[in-house]
Amino acid sequence: MGAVVKGPGTAFRESSADPRTESVPFSHLSLELGHLYMEDFAEGPTRLRRHFAAVRPWVEAARAGLGPLAPGRRPRISTCFLIDDYFSRLSTPAELIPPLLEAAAEAGLTIDYLARESGCAGPAADGSRHRDRAVLAESVLHRLVESPPPGSNGFRPPVGRTGWLTNGRRTPSQRTSAALDATGVWQPPSETEARGHSVFLDVELWNGPEDGRTWSCAFLAAVWQLVRLGLLRHNGAAVLTPVRWEDGTFPADWDALPPVLRLNPSATPFTAYATCSVLPSRFLPVEHAVRVILDQVHVEAEALAQVAERSAGEGFPVPAGVVDRTSYVFPPGL
Amino acid sequence: MGGLGTTSGPVLACGEVRTCLLPHRRAVDEPTAVRLLGLRADEPVRTSRRPNRHACSPGVLTGVDCLLPTATGAKVRAVGTVTAHAGLVEGRVLQSTAYFSAPAEGPDRRRPWGYYLVRPGLLVPVGRLPGKSVTEGFLTGHQQDRLDVGSIAESLLARISRHDLLDHDAPLTTTDTSLRWTASPAGDGEPASALLTELGSGLRIAELRLPRGTTPLAAAALCEDLALHDWLLTTVGDKLDGLPPGSENQAAALKVLRPLVDHLLHLWMPRARLDRALSPLWEELERHPGFSRQWNTMAQRIRDQLALQNLIRGDAPARS
């Protein structure tokens, strides 16, 4: 495997044997200003105004909660909003986005970056550089390393085949014979890291046939968190790099829009050391699933090392575990 | 993570290498090798052309939480990940390696999974690691309900062998081999050493004492190199064993010799990608038992047989 043969005074390097990992810029915090279903948009501007009015105080709180920074450092907080164009497309960007931005502005909020949910499933980066059919969600799927319940010695059906991921051990499958059922002993599922009692969760990552999978909302949301944390690469290259979009006009087709837009020219970087998402509490189950997924994603070591080095360098160390870098606010009235 | 025996590093690395002929009629080219070994969508297969062609898959991790094999039967629980990768040499010989390293001690209870995922390839014992007992237990072989590194290597090999690109029409029949290995740091002033044992039926065990600071990856690469060359010696040796002299039965001899020349003779290249600090170990193996000496003798025998056949064939028309 050793790609570099070293010795006194001589070295032979082969570039293809020595992959590089592109670095990305970092804000301190990536703040998500809510998430809405397409149906919510359909309710009109009043619904959007109500949303951002409820989000507003928590944005202030998240800013304050960043804590003291090293002397001379200004907090770098970028805001983002994810639009669900993956599960339904009731309207066009031209119809949907301007009222959204207006409603945010009315509440005194700026959306720095706007992202499309299908970008989390779709091509890994701009199509010109990666013409292969690799998709981001699939890459993350390949990076899942299941948390082993005690007793796991190397055998388990891989998640890649089943499409389900748990935080523990499932109930053993039961025989269906009625005669056996009478005597059969039911065994409960268990959560691996339970404190006393289990909260067992089994997350569906996708459904549908292999060549036409529909990724689950929870899985795409986990990808979205990893993208915001700057931890994903494709063959070493950064993914979903924001594209400047400052003229205020939007196309009639979602696919004509880059996956991540930078709407605010003075925004701090999209990717950040930590994330905070202000969400309606109906998303609580989804975000529980997101945490179960994030806890089992093996992030590329070099990407992790870059964050650790950079954040420590500016006196803002991040937790080692990826899931511990995410936080949520579920405010009332959202 | 530091190398073996360093302050922050592990005190033990253990693994298993499986080696087999790629089940395909001919050696595959580099693009095909890349497709075969592309285990992940986002990480490239690493290829190298000097001093021979080699392709290496990205690593894949398997989470485990179980008892380690021990010689004494002591119950040592460890949690973490076993890493595995596959390699293809000259598009012809397929290897898969699964291995882990372990520190001298770990927390007294299992930590959140994220703790282990940022330490890929490390199995952290719950409490203290009885290194000697685990080394002996691991080399002895799989024990019921305890860690099974061999099956992880095997399933990776099976996953690649099942690929649609392969025609499963190998040009010669060969036996797969397993090399089970452990590596611990050599003491100060102690030279690196390897104790290599052949256990028949394609199983080899290697107990290594390596220079302090050797990474588990470098130890695994050494074992892959050992396994590859041991496999070549085994395979060619088996074919030549009991070979009818070419002068008696030309057709039968040619049938055996030809695939060896076509597919295996050019693969001998010890230390192709070896960490230089580990070179003395190979030099020792070259002195005793003398890997290259045996190989050169066999290769010469094959060439002599073929030369002889040419001579006989050259004579044949004159006689008729």
**Closest in B117, B149, B152 to A298, CB measured:** B117
Give the pLDDT of residue A185: 77
User: Distance (Å, rounded) from C-alpha A55 to C-alpha A49?
Assistant: 10
Average pLDDT over residues B42-57: 92
Give the pLDDT of residue A4: 47
Indicate which of A1, A195, A239, A298 best probes the interface with B, i.e. most B CBs within 10 Å of its own CB.
A1
- For β-strands B193-198 and B203-210, DSSP reports them as antiparallel
CA-nearest of B11, B152, B129 to B68 is B129
* CB contacts, 8 Å: B152 with chain A: 154
Average pLDDT over residues B10-16: 97
Give the pLDDT of residue B90: 97
CB contact under 8 A, A1 and B117: no
Beta-sheet strands, E only, within A46-201:
77-83, 113-116, 164-166, 168-169, 190-191
Give the pLDDT of residue A16: 63
Q: Work out the burial of residue A11: count CB atoms within 10 Å of its CB; fewer than 13 is exposed, 13-18 middle, 19 or more buried.
A: exposed
Task: Give, in degrees to the nearest 5, the angle at Cα A193 between A188 and A195.
Answer: 85
- Of the pLDDT bands very low, low, confident and very high (cuts 50, 70, 90), residue A74 is confident
pLDDT over threshold 70, residue A128:
no
User: Distance (Å, rounded) from C-alpha B194 to C-alpha B186?
Assistant: 11
Least confident of A121-130, A174-183, B53-62, B258-267: A121-130
pLDDT over threshold 70, residue A175:
no
User: Distance (Å, rounded) from C-alpha B149 to C-alpha B78?
Assistant: 13
Contact with chain A for residue B63, Cβ under 8 A: yes
Give the pLDDT of residue A6: 47
Give the pLDDT of residue A133: 42
Give the pLDDT of residue A130: 40
List CB contacts of A262: < 8 A, sequence separation 6 or more: A112, A113, A242, A243, A244, A245, A246, A270
Least confident of A58-62, A232-236, B134-138, B241-245: B241-245
Q: Work out the burial of residue A312: count CB atoms within 10 Å of its CB; fewer than 13 is exposed, 13-18 middle, 19 or more buried.
A: exposed
H or E segment and range at residue B251:
helix B250-263
Closest chain B C-alpha to A300 CA, distance in angstroms:
9
Share of chain A above pLDDT 70, in %: 85
Which of A156 and A295 is assigned the larger pLDDT?
A: A295
pTM for this one?
0.88
Contact with chain A for residue B17, Cβ under 8 A: no
Closest chain A C-alpha to B66 CA, distance in angstroms:
5
pLDDT over threshold 90, residue B253:
no
Closest chain B C-alpha to A181 CA, distance in angstroms:
28
The interface predicted TM-score (ipTM) is 0.85
Interface A–B counts its CB contacts (< 8 A) at 138
Token pair in block for residue A76? 């770098």
Task: Give, in degrees to the nearest 5, the angle at Cα A244 between A241 and A246.
Answer: 155
**Are A232 and A23 in contact, with CB atoms under 8 Å apart?**
no
Contact with chain A for residue B224, Cβ under 8 A: yes
CB contact under 8 A, B87 and A17: no
Give the pLDDT of residue A186: 83
Cα–Cα distances (Å) from B93 to B57, B68, B299, in that order, read 14, 31, 18
Please report where in the chains the tokens 């915090």 appear, as a residue: A29
Half-sphere exposure at residue A249, Cβ-oriented, CA atoms within 13 angstroms: 3
- Of the pLDDT bands very low, low, confident and very high (cuts 50, 70, 90), residue A1 is very low
Q: What is the pLDDT of residues A215-274, one digit of tens each?
A: 999 999 999 999 999 999 988 899 999 999 988 899 999 989 999 999 999 999 999 999
Whole-number average pLDDT of chain A = 86
Using CA coordinates, name the residue in chain A closest to B153: A154
Phi-psi label, residue A12: left if phi above 0, alpha if psi -120 to 50, beta otherwise: beta
Whole-number average pLDDT of chain B = 92
CA-nearest of B46, B217, B41, B116 to A232 is B41
CB contact under 8 A, B276 and A153: no
* CB contacts, 8 Å: A298 with chain B: 61, 81, 117, 120
Using CA coordinates, name the residue in chain A closest to B86: A1
Give the pLDDT of residue B245: 73
Q: What is the pLDDT of residues B52-78, one digit of tens each?
A: 999 999 999 999 999 999 999 999 999
Q: What is the pLDDT of residues B198-238, one digit of tens each?
A: 888 899 999 999 999 999 999 999 999 999 999 999 999 99
- Of the pLDDT bands very low, low, confident and very high (cuts 50, 70, 90), residue B273 is confident
User: Distance (Å, rounded) from C-alpha A326 to C-alpha B114?
Assistant: 13
Half-sphere exposure at residue A321, Cβ-oriented, CA atoms within 13 angstroms: 16
**Closest in A143, A296, A320 to B118, CB measured:** A320
Closest chain B C-alpha to A178 CA, distance in angstroms:
32
CA-nearest of A276, A244, A282 to A263 is A244
- The DSSP letter of residue A282 is G
* CB contacts, 8 Å: A226 with chain B: none
pLDDT over threshold 60, residue A127:
no
Using CA coordinates, name the residue in chain B closest to A238: B42
Partnered with residue A113 across adjacent β-strands are: A80, A262
**Selected residues 70-129 of chain B with any CB under 8 Å from a CB in chain A:** 77, 79, 81-82, 85, 87, 110, 112-115, 117-118, 120
Cα–Cα distances (Å) from A176 to A85, A171, A172, A188, B123, in that order, read 41, 14, 12, 17, 39
Average pLDDT over residues A110-120: 94
Token pair in block for residue B164? 């649609």
Partnered with residue B101 across adjacent β-strands are: B13, B122
- Of the pLDDT bands very low, low, confident and very high (cuts 50, 70, 90), residue A156 is low
Give the pLDDT of residue A3: 44
Q: What is the pLDDT of residues A8-43, one digit of tens each?
A: 555 566 666 566 889 999 999 999 999 988 888 889
Name the 3-class secondary structure at B26.
coil
CB contact under 8 A, A142 and B42: yes
Q: Work out the burial of residue B48: count CB atoms within 10 Å of its CB; fewer than 13 is exposed, 13-18 middle, 19 or more buried.
A: buried
- For β-strands B93-102 and B12-21, DSSP reports them as antiparallel
